[in-house]
Amino acid sequence: MTTTTERPLPDVGRHKEEARHIGAGVFSPRQLLVSFPDALRKLDPRHQLRNPVMFVVWVGSVLSTVFAIGDPSTFTILVTVWLWFTVLFANLAEAVAEGRGKAQAETLRRTKKETMARRLLPDGTEESVPGVALAVGDLVVVEAGQVIPGDGDVVEGIATVDESAITGESAPVIRESGGDFSSVTGGTTVLSDRIVVRISTRPGESFVDRMIALVEGAQRQKTPNEIALTILLSTLTIIFLLAVVSLQPIARYSGGVQSVIVLTALLVCLIPTTIGALLSAIGIAGMDRLVQRNVLATSGRAVEAAGDVSTLLLDKTGTITFGNRRATELIPIEGTSPDTLKAAARLASIADTTPEGRSVLELCGGPVEVVEPHEFVPFTAQSRMSGVDIGDRHIRKGAASAFPSTDESARIVAEISAGGGTPLVVAENEKVLGVIRLSDVVKPAMRERFAELRRMGIRTVMITGDNPLTAKAIAQESGVDDYLAEARPEDKMALIREEQEGGRLVAMTGDGTNDAPALAQSDVGVAMNSGTSAAKEAGNMVDLDSDPTKLIEIVEIGKQLLITRGALTTFSVANDLAKYFAILPAMFAGIFPQLDRLNIMNLHSPSSAIVSAVVFNALVIIGLIPLALRGVRYRPTTATALLRRNLLVYGLGGVVTPFAGIWLIDLVVRLVPGM
């Protein structure tokens, strides 16, 4: 990067909260009230057909309504009303989850502005056209104070850009041509300088448009695990439906024919209505938790895959280390005084505008003015050195391989590399004067985070362009499991394919065009918003904050989604046991008095027992909505320990809670006349 990354940035005076997505916070009861109209609209049978479990409840509610109208009684009316509440509460869970997305989408819509674009013509002149008239490949000029009319890449110039409307961050960012920080988003504002942008998307397909569609749920598709669970729940529903239907012939033979209302209540209480009602909300909430952290997932499949990731590929620079290496030591070789080396290193770094070059100047006491006629020599990939020519003095600083080495300089270079540093050789007229040690500082607590990932069963691999000795030292210091040194794009692809062939899911981050193939190949590819359009198109997630370490949080969110779904499924299946003990003895107690022994909750009457079970079945959905939206708290642990915890907390809790709940509801229901 150039020195522009260090340029003081203006404060645009906005609070992060003003642009951060609204409605993505903690659950509040008010959300139930706001989402109630949407829940009523979802009573449409065409919507209910999407959820087989709740469609069965909807059909049962319709049948109960018909029989309640034909033969009204306190019992039939109560059962019918609470069956409808069951369907409504299931709709409410989904509506609350979607309502958060709609609030976020509304915030994003306010960032979209109909702008006039300054389209650059082939002859160098400009024409003013509406932003919606721009085509892919058009070049537009944007200057300070103007809104960027569409998504694209900077092809000329450098500027500070206010992206707070998208990311929520008030600090402007640098966007420049020719690097990995060239991508700009339509709707953001240029604060300084002038840039030329090549448009990369058609109108209506911009990044903001896709964000709106995704957070609203318009493009939400069920994930493979969600589809598999839906099939399982549908199968259980069919089994219970056949079991309930077969009860009527048995009851008729025994002389105790059951009403359609009672059979419907039994079916609704036995099928997994709880998880069936919350399944969609859990998936939507998982994507919502990512949005809260300024990560946009292109599909729920990506979020779910993050929870199953077993290999994590992490760039060293900016992820494991702070990124800007700093000069920490000057090591003169024999025959060179420290002052001579310092003076030469200072002169060689005057024109070096990289963070490393500036750190050398700081270590040597600051920049010095060159009075004699001189010529600066910029760094090139071919020469791998930079410096200054002053008369017949040719002072250079660069990679060790670019200079003739001596035994002593080779030893110093090897020691610095082995210690995790980067050596820069300083020479004058091809005579090596000494070596500068550049240190790459590992971010604090990285070792603990990697240990946490290891407990989660995730293998971490550091990817770096450094030499193997430096890579090994950084890997040992940070605690990463493995490393890939001197990595090229094809090396990343080979590593990802090797991991996937072993049956493992791979996640990685990237921001450059050369990262695009690997991002596309990985199961979870997180592209940085600051990166190129190619990287963002290749990945299935975009981090609006451009923070590579966020990949670790994304994995945790994915695992939380899977754990929440598993925990609530366990609870839903377990609480059927209590409803079984409430309804079946009530149905046949009049025919087989000995069944009264199964009335372990000592419920008031068969009618109150059935009504109490139906009421609990509806209320438990409302009670679990906050947990479905917030997610079950995730703690790094093994799969065995996780299963044990789920069975203990949600399995045992799913058995005990309904017994207590139905008994308490029965105390109220028995007071109703006719019960």
Give, for 395, the enclosing helix (H) or strand (E). Answer: strand 393-398
In a domain, 272, yes or no: no
Residue 147 is given by DSSP the state B
- On whether 337 is known to bind a ligand per the annotation, the reply is no
Q: Does residue 433 sit within a domain?
A: yes
Relative to beta strand 189-190, strand 139-143 is unpaired
**Residue 416 covered by a domain:** yes
The pLDDT of residue 106: 66
| CA–CA distances in Å: residue 317 to residues 320, 440, 611 | 6, 8, 62
Average pLDDT by consecutive 10-residue portion of the chain (675 residues)?
Answer: 31 34 52 86 90 93 92 91 95 84 64 76 88 87 88 87 68 74 82 89 72 57 77 90 84 74 89 90 82 76 84 80 79 91 91 81 84 83 84 90 88 84 89 90 82 84 82 87 86 89 87 80 85 78 79 85 90 83 70 68 81 92 90 76 82 88 90 79
pLDDT at residue number 467: 76
403 known ligand binder? no
Whether 122 maps to a domain, the answer reads yes
The confidence score (pLDDT) of residue 632 equals 86
By the 8 A CB rule, do 554 and 515 touch? no
- 549, 526 in Cβ contact below 8 A? no
Report the chain's C-alpha Rg in angstroms: 33
The residues facing 386 across adjacent strands are 397
Q: What is the pTM of this model?
A: 0.68
CA separation for the pair 139, 590 (Å, rounded): 83
Ligand-binding site membership of 443 (annotated): no
Nearest CA-CA partner of 61 in 232, 268, 234, 219: 268
Is there a binding annotation on residue 382? Answer: yes
| CA–CA dist 46, 414 (Å, integer) | 70
- What's residue 560's pLDDT? 87
Q: How many domains does the chain have?
A: 2
Judge whether 200 is annotated as a binding position.
Answer: no
Residue 128 lies in a domain: yes
CATH of residue 194: 2.70.150.10
Cα Dmax for the chain:
116
Q: Quick check: is 129 in a domain? A: yes
Phi/psi of residue 546, nearest 5 degrees: 55, 50
Domain with 188, as residue range(s), is 116-149+151-200
- The verdict on whether residue 379 carries a ligand-binding annotation is yes
532 in a structural domain? no
Distance from C-alpha of 176 to C-alpha of 154, rounded to nearest angstrom: 6
Last residue of a domain, one of 392, 427, 442: 442
Q: What CATH number has the domain bearing residue 389?
A: 3.40.1110.10
Residue 509 labelled as part of a binding site: no
Last residue of a domain, one of 200, 229, 259: 200
DSSP string, 466-487: S-HHHHHHHHHHHT-SEEE-S-
Please say whether the beta carbons of 585 and 598 come within 8 A. yes
Count of residues in the chain: 675
202: Cβ contacts below 8 Å, ≥ 6 apart:
135, 136
356 is in an annotated binding site: yes
Decide if 408 is inside a domain. yes
Catalytic site residue from 153, 315, 547, 576: 315
Residue 186: predicted pLDDT: 82
- The Cα-based distances of 225 to 94, 289, 633, 643 in angstroms read 18, 19, 20, 17
Any known ligand binding at 381? yes
pLDDT of residue 21: 34
Closest CA to 302 of 527, 498, 458, 95: 527
The domain boundary residue, chosen from 416, 442, 468: 442
3-state SS, 302-370, equals HHHHHHCCCEEEEECECCCECCCCEEEEEEECCCCCHHHHHHHHHHHCCCCCCHHHHHHHHHCCCCCCC
511 is in an annotated binding site: yes
193 annotated active-site: no
Look at the block and give the residue holding tokens 């609704």: 268
Residue 436's CB is within 10 A of a number of other CB atoms, namely: 26
